[in-house]
């Protein structure tokens, strides 16, 4: 039985993971489970949070953030001899080192990632979609001043492609081009599957290639292109598209931002980036929220659940999981990879027919509040974690 959980947090872009940890902790507390949130970045002396952690003596540590192993290759929870739940909200390949720890339990928001980890083999895997707080709701007194909102970074895919052309021989560039076409045209193929299929298609058998680097380049490129093409597709001059986000410069040195890609589009309005808590307020003021996630083909994203909870209609890239659990056209709206040309007519219809839009939001919100709150995630973990934890510590 779960009694005490320590949530370990740190910085991430837009502060979403700190927000998740706080709301998850509140849900645990409501179920009678004591929590401690340790924000490592707030301590100059890094021994202090460790002392607090030891004094709290949790049954389980949990983090949404990536945590690097210690200098000896072990993780913090290996030293503590305490099970750790790594709640991954990014593609699992970036955190595959977690499987080296016998104390790791890894959850993924995409079922394909779960399957990939189990094939390693690694058995301590859970499918745990994103969630939102049960109290999140729209405010009827707030005017919906934004027709369409997009909250997210600009991934400079043109520079990314130039980067791989300079770094790798042409054959690798051709492999990445083909893989990108697959990701942005196939409804269900994952990034890793597309990259592997492209290697096979190009008869590439080099075993020493850095697969993770190619995966990361492919991920960043397809994220950037899908977002830009989605926004460009909304051509109706009467419908304003408001973008809140920055340029994503982690992958490459780049000056190409939202202004470069869509700044000249007459119906696009650019805004500075906002933290996740403020993003909720923007969603409450939005009629439609865009969500692009070509990196998850069988999973979820917090923007879908948060938008519906806030009274905005998500127009999201399709995934197998969403298709199974939400009725397209009745509880949300999805678009298919590579079929951006159909988005304009769909969004125009939704803006011009507010009753239709509001009914979809109402049904979608009911689904979210029934199945996708942090409280429902706690209920699930209370059922499945104790047995896994016993296996780990015995």
- Over the stretch 229-269, which tens digit does the pLDDT of each residue have? 999 999 999 999 999 998 765 545 566 899 999 999 999 99
In this prediction, residues 20-49 reach a mean pLDDT of 94
> Does residue 40 carry a pLDDT above 90?
no
Where is pLDDT greater, at 351 or 70? Answer: 351
pLDDT at 252: 52
Are residue 183 and residue 318 in the same domain, yes or no?
yes
Are residue 203 and residue 255 in the same domain, yes or no?
yes
pTM for this prediction = 0.96
- Backbone φ and ψ for 176, nearest 5 degrees, come out as -65, -40
Are residue 364 and residue 377 in the same domain, yes or no?
no
CB 39 within 8 A of CB 67: no
Are residue 84 and residue 159 in the same domain, yes or no?
no
pLDDT at 249: 53
Are residue 161 and residue 106 in the same domain, yes or no?
no
With pLDDT > 70 as the criterion, what percentage of the chain qualifies? 98
Residue 106: CATH number of its domain = 3.40.50.2000
Closest CA to 319 of 248, 384, 234, 226: 226
pLDDT tier at 73 (50, 70, 90 boundaries)? confident
Are residue 153 and residue 266 in the same domain, yes or no?
yes
Has residue 85 been placed in a domain? yes
CA–CA gap between residue 39 and residue 322 (Å, rounded): 33
> Does residue 196 carry a pLDDT above 80?
yes
Between CA 104 and CA 108, with CA 105 as vertex, the angle to 5 degrees is 130
Are residue 95 and residue 157 in the same domain, yes or no?
no
> Does residue 63 carry a pLDDT above 60?
yes
* Number of domain units in the chain: 2
Reading the block at residue 252, the tokens are: 């490459």
Q: Which domain holds residue 28?
A: 4-131+373-393
pLDDT at 260: 95
pLDDT 10s digits, 197-206: 999 999 998 8
Q: Other CB atoms closer than 10 Å to residue 68's CB: what's the count?
A: 8
pLDDT at 246: 84
Are residue 189 and residue 237 in the same domain, yes or no?
yes
pLDDT at 248: 63
Are residue 330 and residue 389 in the same domain, yes or no?
no
> Does residue 339 carry a pLDDT above 80?
yes
CA–CA gap between residue 373 and residue 314 (Å, rounded): 17
Are residue 169 and residue 307 in the same domain, yes or no?
yes
pLDDT 10s digits, 103-115: 999 999 999 999 9
pLDDT at 386: 96
Has residue 192 been placed in a domain? yes
pLDDT at 68: 86
Has residue 107 been placed in a domain? yes
CA–CA gap between residue 125 and residue 122 (Å, rounded): 7
Query: Assign residue 74 a region: left if phi > 0, alpha if psi is -120 to 50, beta otherwise?
Result: beta
Q: Can you say how many angstroms the Cα of residue 387 is from the centroid of all Cα atoms in its chain?
A: 28
> Does residue 122 carry a pLDDT above 60?
yes
Has residue 127 been placed in a domain? yes
pLDDT 10s digits, 290-316: 999 999 999 999 999 999 999 999 999
pLDDT tier at 46 (50, 70, 90 boundaries)? confident
Are residue 195 and residue 240 in the same domain, yes or no?
yes
Has residue 141 been placed in a domain? no
pLDDT at 13: 86
Are residue 69 and residue 79 in the same domain, yes or no?
yes
Average pLDDT, the chain: 95
pLDDT at 365: 98
């Amino acid at each position: 039985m779960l009694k005490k959980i320590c949530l370990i947090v740190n910085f991430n872009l837009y502060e979403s993971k700190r927000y998740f940890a706080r709301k998850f902790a509140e849900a645990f507390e409501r179920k009678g489970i004591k929590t401690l949130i340790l924000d490592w970045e707030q301590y100059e002396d890094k021994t202090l949070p460790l002392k607090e952690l030891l004094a709290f003596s949790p049954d389980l540590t949990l983090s949404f953030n990536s945590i690097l192993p210690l200098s000896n290759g072990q993780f913090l929870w290996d030293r503590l001899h305490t099970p750790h739940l790594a709640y991954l909200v990014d593609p699992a390949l970036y955190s595959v080192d977690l499987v080296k720890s016998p104390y790791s339990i890894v959850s993924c928001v995409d079922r394909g990632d779960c399957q990939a980890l189990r094939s390693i083999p690694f058995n301590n895997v859970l499918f745990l979609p994103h969630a939102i707080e049960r109290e999140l709701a729209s405010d009827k007194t707030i005017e919906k001043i934004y027709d369409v909102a997009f909250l997210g970074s600009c991934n400079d895919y043109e520079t990314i492609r130039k980067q791989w052309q300079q770094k790798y021989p042409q054959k690798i560039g051709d492999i990445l081009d083909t893989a990108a076409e697959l990701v942005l045209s196939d409804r269900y193929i994952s990034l890793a599957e597309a990259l592997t299929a492209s290697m096979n298609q190009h008869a590439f058998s080099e075993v020493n290639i850095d697969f993770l680097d190619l995966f990361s380049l492919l991920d960043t490129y397809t994220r950037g292109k899908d977002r830009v093409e989605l926004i460009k597709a909304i051509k109706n001059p009467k419908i304003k598209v408001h973008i809140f986000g920055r340029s994503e410069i982690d992958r490459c040195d780049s000056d190409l931002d939202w202004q470069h890609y869509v700044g000249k589009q007459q119906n696009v309005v650019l805004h500075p980036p906002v933290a996740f808590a403020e993003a909720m307020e923007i969603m409450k003021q939005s009629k439609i929220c865009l969500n692009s996630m070509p990196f998850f083909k069988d999973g979820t994203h917090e923007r879908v659940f948060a938008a519906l909870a806030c009274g905005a209609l998500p127009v999201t890239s399709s995934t197998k999981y969403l298709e199974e659990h939400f009725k397209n056209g009745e509880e949300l709206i999805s678009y298919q990879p590579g079929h951006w040309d159909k988005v304009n007519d769909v969004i125009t219809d939704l803006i011009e027919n507010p009753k239709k839009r509001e009914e979809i939001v109402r049904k979608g919100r009911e689904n979210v509040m029934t199945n996708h709150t942090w409280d429902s995630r706690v209920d699930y973990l209370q059922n499945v974690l104790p047995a896994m934890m016993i296996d780990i510590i015995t």
